[in-house]
């Protein structure tokens, strides 16, 4: 408290007092090194460079803030939910640190009005606000240390804008949930890109339609394909829950299907055997489900998944030829999952060691 009073007096004679006051309103304390906070709000599209010619932006601070945010939120979630299992804690943490949540938090505390970026850069597609929020956390950590950073998140972010109990019960990955429902009910689901347009600010907009057994279940719009798919899946789940007739139509459609490539079809003359078409369908759906859940998984869980897939054995009674084909499909699935992991790792700028 005394420190803030002294800093407030010194601020009266500081040439950057307007910037200091602006950050004080957000932080609740005066920065020691204001340049860290200013850099945290520099998007790479601003194209600024140092005297040595190096680009000046918030990417390094974003990397640091991402790690600090994971640690602090993990600490908070662990202490808040006593006795809960690791999977629940990981899922709850991921809901807080995901880009959509961080984007909203950045807007809530006013960071969106302070970010410097090129007018040609779209904040919708790059999650600019959420990235800046992470960089801002990195700046607080470097300027004030871990304890002050944790206090800021607990008192000025979590306490004001996030209800942990309510958030832990909230479903956020609607596409994954829809795929799980379709697999459980043995029906086919597909996401079709209907249209790609530009909004009034020339940002790309996507419209996606979701089909269950060829029947339209919902559509959604978004500033990315993933966002439009999530919105379409959300509408489809709502329709399934509220309209029992629609759900019955989907199940009836799959029963009327006669193609051997449909999910759940058994090859004639082989009790309990799995058709190649079913294996391909299951592999494709598994890859899609894993890709959707990668952002919500810790690296330890991902390692466990790969190990389990690599160690699993074929348990069905099949010929050596069918066994070889299924093993090949499994290897392809593992390879594609590793590619997806590498994309995720590159995007988040973590060092990555091959798992297989």
Per residue in 218-248, pLDDT (tens digit) is 999 988 888 889 899 999 999 998 888 888 8
User: Dihedral, CA atoms, 217, 223, 224, 229, nearest 10 degrees?
Assistant: -10
In this structure, which long-range contacts are made by residues 186-190, counting pairs with CB atoms below 8 Å and at least 24 apart in sequence? 186/254, 186/263, 186/264, 187/212, 187/213, 187/250, 187/251, 187/253, 187/254, 187/263, 188/212, 188/213, 188/214, 188/254, 188/262, 188/263, 188/281, 189/217
- Based on the residue annotation, tell me whether 288 is a catalytic residue of this protein: no
Q: Which of the listed CATH numbers 3.50.50.60, 2.10.109.10, 1.10.1520.10, 3.20.20.70 matches domain 2-168?
A: 1.10.1520.10
pLDDT at 280: 47
Q: What is the pLDDT of residue 271?
A: 40
Read off the pTM. 0.57
Q: Can 318 be counted among the known catalytic residues?
A: no
Read off the pLDDT of each residue in 45-52 and give the average, rounded to a whole number. 77
pLDDT tens per residue, range 242-267: 888 888 888 888 777 645 454 443 33
Q: Do the domains spanning 2-168 and 171-257 agree at the CATH topology level?
A: no
Nearest Cα neighbor of 124 from 105, 99, 149 is 99
Which CATH number is 171-257's, of 3.40.50.11540, 3.30.160.20, 3.30.300.210, 3.30.360.10?
Answer: 3.30.160.20
Please write the tens of the pLDDT for every residue from 124-166: 555 889 999 999 999 999 999 999 999 999 999 999 999 999 9
Q: Which of the residues 38, 62, 66, 292 is marked catalytic?
A: 66
Between 172 and 239, name the one with better pLDDT.
239
- Ranges of each domain in the chain: 2-168, 171-257, 260-356
pLDDT at 174: 87
pLDDT at 116 over 50: yes
Using CA atoms, how far residue 328 sits from 267, 286, 304, 323, 331, in Å, is: 19, 15, 21, 9, 5
Q: What is the pLDDT of residue 134?
A: 96
Mean pLDDT score of the chain, rounded to an integer?
Answer: 76
Q: Out of 62, 134, 143, 292, which one is annotated catalytic?
A: 134
């Amino acid at each position: 408290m005394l420190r803030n009073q002294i800093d407030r007096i010194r601020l009266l004679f500081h040439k950057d007092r307007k910037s200091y006051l602006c950050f004080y309103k957000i932080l609740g304390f005066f920065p020691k090194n204001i340049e860290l906070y200013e850099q945290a709000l520099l998007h790479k599209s601003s194209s600024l460079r140092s005297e040595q010619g190096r680009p000046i932006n918030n990417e390094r601070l974003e990397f640091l803030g991402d790690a600090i945010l994971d640690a602090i939120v993990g600490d908070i979630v662990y202490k808040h939910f006593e006795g809960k299992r690791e999977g629940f804690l990981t899922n709850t943490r991921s809901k807080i640190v995901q880009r959509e949540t961080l984007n909203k938090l950045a807007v809530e505390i006013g960071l969106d009005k302070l970010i410097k970026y090129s007018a040609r850069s779209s904040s919708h597609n790059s999650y600019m606000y959420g990235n800046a929020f992470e960089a801002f956390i990195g700046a607080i950590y470097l300027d004030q240390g871990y304890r002050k950073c944790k206090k800021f998140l607990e008192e000025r972010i979590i306490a004001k804008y996030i209800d942990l109990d309510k958030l832990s019960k909230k479903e956020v990955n609607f596409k994954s949930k829809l795929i799980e429902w379709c697999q459980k009910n043995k029906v086919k689901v597909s996401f079709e890109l209907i249209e790609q347009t530009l909004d009034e600010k020339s940002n790309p907009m996507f419209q996606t339609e979701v089909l269950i057994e060829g029947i339209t279940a919902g559509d959604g719009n978004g500033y990315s394909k993933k966002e439009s798919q999530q919105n379409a899946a959300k509408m489809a789940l709502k329709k399934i829950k509220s309209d029992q007739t629609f759900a019955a139509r989907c199940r009836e459609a799959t029963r009327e299907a006669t193609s051997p490539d449909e999910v759940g079809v058994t090859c004639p003359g082989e009790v309990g055997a799995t058709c190649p078409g079913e294996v391909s369908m299951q592999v494709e759906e598994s890859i899609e489900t894993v890709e959707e859940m990668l952002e919500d998984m810790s690296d330890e869980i991902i390692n466990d998944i790969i190990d389990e897939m690599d160690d699993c054995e074929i348990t069905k009674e099949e010929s050596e030829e069918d066994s070889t084909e299924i093993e090949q499909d499994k290897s392809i699935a593992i390879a594609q999952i590793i590619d997806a992991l590498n994309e995720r790792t590159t995007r988040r700028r973590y060092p990555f060691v091959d798992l297989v």
